[in-house]
Chains A and B, each alone.
Chain A
Amino acid sequence: MEGLEERIDRLLASAPYRVPPEERSRALLELLRDELGYACERNQALHNYVRHWPTNFQLAQSIADLPYLPVGMLKAQPPLSLVEPGQIKRTLTSSSTTGQLPSRVVLDSPTARRMTKGIVVIVQDFIGSSRRPYLVVDVPGSVRGGPELGARGAAIQSLQPFATTVAYGLSLGGRGELTLDLDKVLEFANNHRGSSVLVYGFTYILWNHLVKPLLTDGISLDMPYVHILHSGGWKRLQDEAVEKRAFNEGLARVFGCSNDSVIDFYGLIENVGIIYPDCPGNKHVPAFGDVIVRDPLTLEPVAVGEQGIVQVCSVLPTSFPGHLLLTEDMAEVVANDGCVCGRRGTCFRFVGRVPKAEVRGCGNIDSRR
């Protein structure tokens, strides 16, 4: 029987958005089942969880029937791992809100390689495969070398295969705050004005540290051939009442490009190797992963047009059990196939984080006396 590695690589080599949904599901189900078995052999705790799942995963008829892990389980310390400590090359950490533990995702060499490849084939489908100058709207320290890498650093680094040169547009101020390095940004714009360039930044960083100051000063970088990718969520901008349309228009004005050049993508550090860029209306699932949106009342997959809790699936990791993860995000399924952009398979729209429960009644004990 063909080994797991070869089967994963074969899926990774296929066109990410051209495989018919049934064919894709069949291939994924088979591979995910085997990966679960592989993971259970290597992690007794995980095996205990999987064997208590209400149905036998070996007999599952669909990906939705396979046992999934709530993403919060990756906050465990030590991190959930399927490899020996000596094989771990890097640990990715999620951005976490104050007082919360971050997720910790361990990568061995094969998983790290697939992570890079996964992102490349996805992004290629949206911006093409050529290398180009890369402006990172962040500080160089975000991708410091070392055994641990945060969410911002991981996103920045994942786009480096598209870069000929890399420039950082922000620096740290005297109190450690992010500050626009205007000279650097203008120099980058002047040097690459007529050519295709790539820009990436976290959504709120792009807005607060690049768009707002440049709009205020009436500066346009005049870079019509830019692709601007951003991620990290909208929560902070929603708090500032900045909507997606205003955000895109602001970026387009600052760069002197069309609104279509701005691509928002959804991604989780735990879902290594997969991101979900807008097409521009919808987010798509590549051939080597899947997204299932589950009804909170039944945990069954929702129908088209309905909202629920997002589960992400990926065949890429073999160093940690990140194959089937129930996230803390909500989404709406737009279609199971047939998006106007031509990409095959499920497409969805991100709705937001799972809202916090507000009812805190007489039985809600957070702290014992």
Chain B
Amino acid sequence: MHVIDLPEQITVGAERLRQTGISTEVTPDSILDVFEAWAAALGARDTADIPGVAFLRLWLRRGTLEPIITRELGPGALHADWMEDGRARLKVYPIGVVGHWPAGNIEIQPILSMTCALLGGNACLVRVPGDLVDQTRRLMQKLDQSDAAQVLTGRVFIAAFDHARQDLQEAMARAVDGAMIWGGDEAVLAVRALPFAHWVRLAVFGPRMSIAAIDAGIWCDRYEREPWCRRIARDVWQFDQQACSSPQVLFLERKAGHSPFEFLQDLKKAFEAENRLHPRQTIHPALTSAICQARTAWLLANPANSALFPAGPDWTLLLGSGSEIPKPTQGRTLTVLEVDDLFDPISRLDEGVQTLGLAMKDPEREERLASAAAKRGVNRIVKLGRMHVFVPPWDGVDLIRPMVRMVRHVRSTE
């Protein structure tokens, strides 16, 4: 971890990365060996408590990444082989130094972003948001311990500096060949406006929100309902509902003879159980205020609205009806909206929605619903309980391929 104060520190660091990248070739297969060892090391007590580490360990496993490499880069990419393509052959090469601007709300995001570019053989210049410096340092120490041959550590430069230091941001932009940019609109726009060279590849993962939907066939079945409620609670709790893949609204299909309160009571139990397992250790006072406001505003807005919440800000369930998505509160606040037909809210979605978490009894109907959502701009349609599973394409974009070059060789002897 480098605490940066001068633009030259970034320029020199990036140049060293570039030289390492040119002088040493690394195959995805050898990277996966290091990742496996890193995943094992992250199970230690001093890193296991970092939010998202369980997920990161799963992500780093060969079993997770091998199929992703093969799908995105082709069957020969794992061993950096040339792949036959008709009369030509193709091979994956890195683009060079990839800069990473992760969001400040997901503890493991600097690492996740970096691993995507490393798998393409790139070197990485990572700016770590101020709030994530300590966690990132601990996670990187485990990589140091797991990479005795320095296959990867020589290809990574972690930079810590204030986001307001425009001179350092610009130095970083000038030093890279690719950029992976994550975060809210303000942050993303600021990074995109930096003076990148014309050849720089940009992969932008801007602000999105996610929703969930359950059909009547699922929630009206009291035996099925309970496990689905547990899955929803897990999706809400992970990343403290701050991720773009976190559900903010749940659409519940109405059914005559069944009260939504049957469902809400089970969901409440699931939220309480999840809260016992993963209580908050800290909260920003502004989020507490926002949660209190959301509860009150919801109940004052319409006497027909209902809600369940404890005395503290631990979680909130807001119940109403309608197809409009209200402004997300986050902070484990889920708005449950009753609708006559799930196709109604889905037909109103736009590209602001990233993930649709589903629980549906009828597979044929689910396929139609998924197609309708995809047409409206949704990029991920997944089973509830798996909304955060970080598998590309993410936001409709591959994660490794944008930061590699596919080199084509047509033999002159052909």
Which residues of A sit under 8 angstroms from B185, Cβ to Cβ?
366-367
Which residues of B sit under 8 angstroms from A361, Cβ to Cβ?
103-106, 183-184, 207, 242-244
Contact with A along B150-172 (1 / 0, CB 8 A): 00000000000000000000000
The yes or no answer to B299 lying at the interface (CB within 8 A) is yes
The yes or no answer to B131 lying at the interface (CB within 8 A) is yes
Which residues of B sit under 8 angstroms from A55, Cβ to Cβ?
311
Which residues of A sit under 8 angstroms from B377, Cβ to Cβ?
369
The yes or no answer to B233 lying at the interface (CB within 8 A) is no
Which residues of A sit under 8 angstroms from B293, Cβ to Cβ?
70, 72-73
The yes or no answer to A362 lying at the interface (CB within 8 A) is yes
Stretch at the interface among B88-96, B282-290, B396-404: B282-290
CB distance from A54 to the nearest CB of B (A): 5
The yes or no answer to B51 lying at the interface (CB within 8 A) is no
Q: In the complex, A49→B104 CA distance in Å?
A: 34
Which residues of A sit under 8 angstroms from B241, Cβ to Cβ?
363
Q: In the complex, A366→B187 CA distance in Å?
A: 13
The yes or no answer to B228 lying at the interface (CB within 8 A) is no
Which residues of A sit under 8 angstroms from B311, Cβ to Cβ?
54-55, 299-300
Contact with A along B172-202 (1 / 0, CB 8 A): 0000000000111111000000000000000
Q: Find out whether the CB atom of B242 lies under 8 angstroms from the CB atom of A359.
A: yes
Identify which of residues 45-59 in chain A touch chain B, using a CB-to-CB cut-off of 8 Å.
Answer: 45-49, 52, 54-55
CB distance from A308 to the nearest CB of B (A): 8
Q: In the complex, A96→B331 CA distance in Å?
A: 26
Q: Which of A69, A76, A309, A362 contacts B207 (CB 8 A)?
A: A362
Which residues of B sit under 8 angstroms from A121, Cβ to Cβ?
none
Q: Which of A47, A48, A308, A363 contacts B208 (CB 8 A)?
A: A363
Stretch at the interface among A12-20, A128-136, A184-192, A349-357: A349-357
Which residues of B sit under 8 angstroms from A73, Cβ to Cβ?
293, 296-297, 300
Q: Find out whether the CB atom of A45 lies under 8 angstroms from the CB atom of B244.
A: no
The yes or no answer to B13 lying at the interface (CB within 8 A) is no
Q: Find out whether the CB atom of B283 lies under 8 angstroms from the CB atom of A297.
A: yes
CB distance from B310 to the nearest CB of A (A): 6
The yes or no answer to A97 lying at the interface (CB within 8 A) is no
The yes or no answer to A122 lying at the interface (CB within 8 A) is no
Determine the residue in chain B with the shortest Cβ distance to A365.
B209
Which residues of A sit under 8 angstroms from B186, Cβ to Cβ?
360
Q: Find out whether the CB atom of A362 lies under 8 angstroms from the CB atom of B206.
A: yes
Q: Find out whether the CB atom of B312 lies under 8 angstroms from the CB atom of A76.
A: no
Q: Find out whether the CB atom of A49 lies under 8 angstroms from the CB atom of B208.
A: no
Q: Find out whether the CB atom of A363 lies under 8 angstroms from the CB atom of B350.
A: no
Identify which of residues 9-67 in chain A touch chain B, using a CB-to-CB cut-off of 8 Å.
Answer: 44-49, 52, 54-55
Q: A49-B296, A73-B296, A73-B297 are in contact. Are A363 and B105 (CB under 8 A)?
A: yes
CB distance from B236 to the nearest CB of A (A): 12
Choose among B284, B292, B301, B309 the residue with the greatest number of A CB atoms under 10 Å from its CB.
Answer: B292
The yes or no answer to B313 lying at the interface (CB within 8 A) is yes
Q: Find out whether the CB atom of A46 lies under 8 angstroms from the CB atom of B183.
A: no
The yes or no answer to A298 lying at the interface (CB within 8 A) is yes
Size range of the chain A interface in the assembly: 35 or more
CB distance from A295 to the nearest CB of B (A): 9
The yes or no answer to B122 lying at the interface (CB within 8 A) is no
Which residues of B sit under 8 angstroms from A298, Cβ to Cβ?
312-313
The yes or no answer to A280 lying at the interface (CB within 8 A) is no
Identify which of residues 160-195 in chain A touch chain B, using a CB-to-CB cut-off of 8 Å.
Answer: none
Q: Find out whether the CB atom of A299 lies under 8 angstroms from the CB atom of B312.
A: yes
CB distance from A82 to the nearest CB of B (A): 13
Q: Find out whether the CB atom of B300 lies under 8 angstroms from the CB atom of A328.
A: no
The yes or no answer to A330 lying at the interface (CB within 8 A) is yes
Q: In the complex, A299→B287 CA distance in Å?
A: 12
Which residues of B sit under 8 angstroms from A52, Cβ to Cβ?
299, 306-309
Which residues of A sit under 8 angstroms from B308, Cβ to Cβ?
52
Which residues of B sit under 8 angstroms from A328, Cβ to Cβ?
289
The yes or no answer to A77 lying at the interface (CB within 8 A) is no
Which residues of A sit under 8 angstroms from B243, Cβ to Cβ?
361-363
Which residues of B sit under 8 angstroms from A367, Cβ to Cβ?
185
Q: In the complex, A72→B292 CA distance in Å?
A: 10
Q: In the complex, A45→B286 CA distance in Å?
A: 25
Q: In the complex, A369→B185 CA distance in Å?
A: 11
Q: In the complex, A308→B210 CA distance in Å?
A: 32
Which residues of B sit under 8 angstroms from A299, Cβ to Cβ?
288, 292, 311-313
Q: Which of A45, A309, A360, A363 contacts B289 (CB 8 A)?
A: A309
The yes or no answer to B246 lying at the interface (CB within 8 A) is yes
Which residues of B sit under 8 angstroms from A366, Cβ to Cβ?
184-185, 207
The yes or no answer to B351 lying at the interface (CB within 8 A) is yes
Determine the residue in chain A with the shortest Cβ distance to B377.
A369
Q: In the complex, A47→B285 CA distance in Å?
A: 27
CB distance from B26 to the nearest CB of A (A): 29
Q: Find out whether the CB atom of B289 lies under 8 angstroms from the CB atom of A364.
A: no
CB distance from A354 to the nearest CB of B (A): 5
Q: A326-B292, A360-B183 are in contact. Are A44 and B303 (CB under 8 A)?
A: yes
Q: In the complex, A308→B283 CA distance in Å?
A: 12
Q: Which of A72, A309, A357, A362 contacts B106 (CB 8 A)?
A: A362
Which residues of B sit under 8 angstroms from A54, Cβ to Cβ?
309-311
The yes or no answer to B408 lying at the interface (CB within 8 A) is no
Determine the residue in chain A with the shortest Cβ distance to B243.
A363
CB distance from B14 to the nearest CB of A (A): 25
Q: Find out whether the CB atom of B303 lies under 8 angstroms from the CB atom of A296.
A: no
Q: In the complex, A86→B239 CA distance in Å?
A: 50
The yes or no answer to B7 lying at the interface (CB within 8 A) is no
The yes or no answer to B30 lying at the interface (CB within 8 A) is no
Q: In the complex, A365→B242 CA distance in Å?
A: 10
The yes or no answer to B217 lying at the interface (CB within 8 A) is no
CB distance from A209 to the nearest CB of B (A): 32
CB distance from A41 to the nearest CB of B (A): 14
The yes or no answer to B330 lying at the interface (CB within 8 A) is yes
Q: A359-B131, A364-B105, A368-B352 are in contact. Are A354 and B285 (CB under 8 A)?
A: yes
Q: In the complex, A354→B284 CA distance in Å?
A: 9
Q: Find out whether the CB atom of A48 lies under 8 angstroms from the CB atom of B288.
A: no
Identify which of residues 188-241 in chain B touch chain A, using a CB-to-CB cut-off of 8 Å.
Answer: 205-210, 239, 241
Q: Which of B280, B289, B313, B330 contacts A354 (CB 8 A)?
A: B289
CB distance from B238 to the nearest CB of A (A): 11
Q: A45-B299, A297-B280, A298-B312 are in contact. Are A362 and B182 (CB under 8 A)?
A: yes
Q: Find out whether the CB atom of B299 lies under 8 angstroms from the CB atom of A70.
A: no
In the complex, the 10 A-B pairs of residues with the closest C-beta atoms, listed nearest first = A361-B105, A360-B184, A296-B285, A357-B286, A362-B244, A296-B288, A49-B299, A361-B103, A45-B300, A364-B184
13 other contacts beyond A368-B350, A368-B352, with CB at 8 A cut-off? A296-B288, A297-B280, A297-B283, A298-B313, A309-B288, A309-B289, A357-B284, A359-B104, A362-B106, A363-B210, A363-B246, A365-B328, A369-B351
List 28 contacting pairs A-B, 8 Å CB cutoff, sorted by A. Answer: A45-B299, A45-B301, A48-B299, A52-B307, A52-B309, A69-B296, A70-B292, A70-B296, A72-B289, A73-B296, A76-B300, A296-B285, A297-B282, A354-B289, A355-B284, A355-B285, A357-B284, A359-B242, A361-B105, A361-B183, A362-B182, A362-B243, A363-B208, A363-B210, A363-B328, A364-B105, A364-B207, A365-B208
